Amino acid sequence: MNCGYVALIGRPNVGKSTLMNHLLGQKLSITSRKPQTTRHRILGIKTTEAGQAIFMDTPGMHQDEQKVLNRYLNKTADSTLLGVNVVVWLLDGLYWHDYDEKIFKKLEQAGLPVILVVNKIDKIKDKEAVLAFFAEAKEKYPFEQIVPVSALKSQNLEVLEQQIMSLLPESDLIYPEDQITDRPERFFAAEIVREKLTRRLGDELPYALTVEIERYEEHPELCKIYAAILVERNSQKCIVIGKQGEMLKKIGTEARLDIEKLIGQKVYLQLWVKVKKGWSDSERALQSLGFVDTID
């Protein structure tokens, strides 16, 4: 069997999380239209008769490192290239960005086989432009393959999966065949709450909030989850709660339903909002919130 690790890389908001979810056939990574929705490295394991691909969804590689959180996201994305067997670099169209030049250099240093994936191909009507871009890409870097896909519509994902599997080394299974991730359920509960917050409040609170599970109690008939939503200012707290608590109630209901689908059990979810000033620019605060890597 072919088994190994696959890094999904690219700039923020190009569709890495959507791609992994559709490759797995199950939602693990949260998604939204806002850049930097993914903050942690998330493992998604797919086992088939051909082998086992262990996908690593990462924060988007970006230039802004003004805050400690931004530096953490970049470091997490960069470190994913260590110890993987294949790199899948995702673009969201037929063009390059300034930061892509830095990604080229990182890939050259890593010396790994790279598949270039052009996402959202369903939105591109000019087929000659597609072929011209592929020719240009081959001149820029020795990609193993260039695969056009639509992650959202699951177009051409079987071809991509076959290409990935062909590049993985022969090996016994690394994880049990029924395992799909290495993260605990309480981690995904926090991520689901954050997804609902990001989707409903993204324009007002793009990065200034996070979610901390304070208690996670598993009972035979009911799972009780108590979660704190952390913001940096009192004005943000008012936005999250909403008029007469309506916004927080909507977010809680949406999150509870998704968590119930994930764990297959009834859920009692209690949310409250706390102000933790400067959490996104404090290494100690980030580490206490589960951003465990040391930030240089």
Q: Which DSSP string do the residues of 42-79 spell out, in sequence order?
A: EEEEEEETTEEEEEEE-PPP-S--SSHHHHHHHHHHHH
Is 60 exceeded by the pLDDT of residue 295?
Answer: no
- Write down the domain spans for the chain: 2-167, 185-288
Write the CB contacts of 167 (distance below 8 Å, at least 6 apart in sequence): 85, 86, 113, 115, 144
pLDDT, averaged across the chain: 85
pLDDT for the residue 81: 76
Is 90 exceeded by the pLDDT of residue 157?
Answer: yes
Is 60 exceeded by the pLDDT of residue 133?
Answer: yes
Q: What is the pLDDT of residues 178-214, one digit of tens each?
A: 999 988 899 899 989 988 998 888 777 656 788 999 9
Mean pLDDT throughout 137-142? 94
Domain 2-167: CATH class, spelled out: alpha beta
Which residues does residue 231 pair with via DSSP β-bridges, in sequence order? 209, 275
Helix locations, the chain, DSSP H: 16-24, 68-79, 100-110, 127-140, 157-167, 185-201, 234-241, 246-263, 283-288
Q: In the structure, what pLDDT confidence band is assigned to residue 296 with cuts at 50, 70 and 90?
A: very low
Is 90 exceeded by the pLDDT of residue 14?
Answer: no
Task: State the residue for tokens 């997490």.
Answer: 76
With H, G, I as helix, E, B as strand and everything else as coil, classify residue 5.
Answer: strand
- Domain 185-288, what architecture? 2-Layer Sandwich (3.30)
Is 50 exceeded by the pLDDT of residue 171?
Answer: yes
Mean pLDDT throughout 103-126? 90
Q: In the structure, what pLDDT confidence band is assigned to residue 22 with cuts at 50, 70 and 90?
A: very high
- Pairing assessment for the beta strands 114-118 and 145-148 based on DSSP bridges: parallel
C-beta contacts of 107-111 below 8 A and 24+ residues apart: 107/81, 107/141, 108/141, 110/81, 110/82
* pTM for the full predicted model: 0.79
- How open is the CA angle 233-237-242, to the nearest 5 degrees? 150
pLDDT for the residue 294: 37
Mean pLDDT throughout 164-175? 94
Lowest mean pLDDT among 35-49, 57-71, 250-264, 273-287: 57-71
